[in-house]
Structure 1
């Protein structure tokens, strides 16, 4: 076999397959449930969306996040999409 030849012979291929390393499993983020304090804060700050049965968009959630941070609340620590999902779940539970 030439040095320029990059093909693998059958014997080398069998040897190569036995030495492959397994990829380590991906780390999965742990699910963190909303606390009672966070749920109550959502109910007070985003009450209009719970009453109407719709869920807010990102800009409305960001406004609530700013208010929470000023009041030393807890909900500002969560991402916007998690809060939207929580409100959606709360609306579905009402039905």
Structure 2
């Protein structure tokens, strides 16, 4: 083996001498609290789940969101996981 095989070429040295570029900080998402209207709507659509203390599945949330949209409600704008998380929090708060 030659000594030349293990040395760094001049072109590679120039790349390492420069400063590293930092990534810009990511903007966090703004937390959006549930309004009183949305909370009341959740209580009406998911009354059975709140009484029993269990969380609904995705399909039940989708059905409730469709009803909400037809009746010009508010919860159809929220994502499924946020609604499920809210119901879970309401169940835990009740205990």
What's the TM-score bracket when you normalise by the shorter of the two chains? 0.7 to 0.9
Q: Could you list the structure 1 runs, at least 4 aligned residues long, displaced by more than 2 angstroms after superposition.
A: 5-9, 12-15
Runs of 5+ in structure 2 lacking a partner? 1-8
After TM superposition, give the deviation of residue 6 of structure 1 in Å: 7.9
* TM-score calculated relative to the size of structure 1: 0.84
Q: Secondary structure at the match of 1:8?
A: helix
After TM superposition, give the deviation of residue 7 of structure 1 in Å: 6.0
Alignment coverage as a number of residue pairs: 87
* TM-score calculated relative to the size of structure 2: 0.84
Q: Cα RMSD between the aligned structures?
A: 1.7
Q: Secondary structure at the match of 2:12?
A: coil
Runs of 5+ in structure 1 lacking a partner? none
